Structure 1
Amino acid sequence: MASSVRAGERLRRALGPGGELEAARLPGELRARLEAALKKKKKASGAEGEDLRPLVPFRLLRELHEHLREQGSPLFLHELLEGSEIHLPEVVRPPRNPELVARLERIKVQLANEEYKRITRNVSGQASRKNGTLADFGRQVRSVKAVVITIFNFIVTVAAAFACTYLGSQYIFSEMAARVLAAVIVASVVGLAELYIMVRAMEGELGEL
């Protein structure tokens, strides 16, 4: 967080001999602290283009501003700060905990291994590839057999529903057309119900795959 300003030439000139702040009758303590802050320059650390202008804390600038306002001075603080810049201190990052770094590395390795196992889980070995043809063929035969049985059961169920309704409706309807219509309706309802059950069963099997 910023707490100081890099003093520009205008502020240093105003506080120097014959400067604008002489007429402001600054308190001796405030003037001494300002002069000490302006004389204290930052030591060069070897960084190219590093700003070595002196730092003036905000609290001194606030005291200077209050004094100028109390004295009714025509000087304004923003005029004195012309050419100055807010100093943003460099953020020093704390060193990382070696135990935490080691633990993170172990977690990364574990996650990488789990991902590798997940990717290679469906990859079969050489021995399984040799016997894969017969296994796949048997699986396909069972699949076709199940489809044939399902279709046969569907046809038998619809036909039985039609026949039962046609024969049973003779006690209700005397006309042939009414009996056939009732049998068709019942057979259609039973067929739709069977189709619904078949679709749900196929969705379950696909979900398991």
Structure 2
Amino acid sequence: MASSLRAGRRLCRALGPGGELEAAGLAPPLRARLEAALATEGAAGAADPRPLVPFRLLRELHEHLREQGSPLFLHELLEGSEIYLPEVVKPPRNPELVARLERIKVQLANEEYKRITRNVSGQAPRRDGTLADFGRQVRSVKAVVIAIFNFIITVAAAFTCTYLGSQFIFSEMAARVLAAVIVASMVGLAELYIMVRAMEGELGEF
């Protein structure tokens, strides 16, 4: 936080011999403190050697000029002056805290890397999804086998029923066999259509 300013030439000249502040009748203690402040150089190691004047001295000077009714204004004296902002010294960081933050950064980076490469690496899917993938494959194969078995049983049953039932209509075996083949073919085509639609629906879910 700023608590002083770098005095400009105007303020130094006004406080010197024959300056404007000499005619203002400054109190000796106030004048002595102002001269002492202007006699010192800037902060050690600073690039600007201009002296630093505390704000409290400037307040006292302002009050004195106002009490004396002086036509001289403080802002005129501060022409060319600049507020001095001391460099903020950062406290040293705790080494334990720095080490802990570094470990957390490394851990987060590793987790992010694993998340990104989870679908690229071949080990993670085999380790995590072996049983689930195998179960889905078994269920899929089982469903296909059952569908084929049902198709064969349905076609065979349609053929048998038509062959046995057609004996009341046809007396010749060739006609009965032909009728059974036609009915079994129609039932087989209907079952095949339903099975294909069901398999398309299952493939669409993957």
Shared fold (TM-score greater than 0.5)? yes
**Counterpart residue type for residue 64 of structure 1:** L
Question: Considering only aligned residues, what root-mean-square deviation do their CA atoms show, in Å?
Answer: 3.4
Choose the corresponding residue for 1:75, options 72, 80, 90.
Answer: 72
Q: Which is greater in Rg?
A: 2
Could you list the structure 1 runs, at least 4 aligned residues long, displaced by more than 4 angstroms after superposition.
Answer: none
Of 121, 124, 128, the match for 2:122: 124
Q: TM-score, normalised by structure 1?
A: 0.59
Instruction: List gaps (5 residues or longer) in structure 1.
Output: 150-201
What amino acid maps onto 1:5 in structure 2? L
CA distance in structure 2 between the partners assigned to 1:140 and 1:112 by the alignment? 38
Structure 1 window deviating more from structure 2 (109-118 vs 25-34): it is 109-118
1:91 counterpart = 2:92: no
Deviation string, structure 1 residues 93-115 (Cα, Å, up to 9, x no partner): 11111000000011111111212
Q: How many residues align?
A: 143
Secondary structure of the structure 1 residue equivalent to 2:48: coil
Q: Which residue of 2 aligns with 1:63?
A: 60
CA–CA separation in structure 2 for the residues paired with 1:35 and 1:113: 64
Shift of residue 124, structure 1, vs aligned partner:
1.2
Q: 1:82, 1:117 → 2: CA distance? A: 64
Tell me, what secondary structure is at the counterpart of 1:23?
A: coil
Cα deviation code 1:108-150 (max 9, x no counterpart) = 111112122222333214xx6xxx9xx79x749829x59xx8x
Scaled by the length of structure 2, the TM-score of the pair is 0.60
1:30-179 aligned within 5 A: 30-42=30-42, 45=45, 50-122=47-119, 123-125=121-123, 139=137, 142=140
Q: Distance in 1 between matches of 2:98 and 2:88?
A: 21
Amino acid at match of 1:61: L
Task: Supply the distance in 2 between the matched residues of 1:51 and 1:101 (Cα, whole angstroms).
Answer: 36
Contact kept in structure 1, 2:6 and 2:42, CA below 8 Å? no
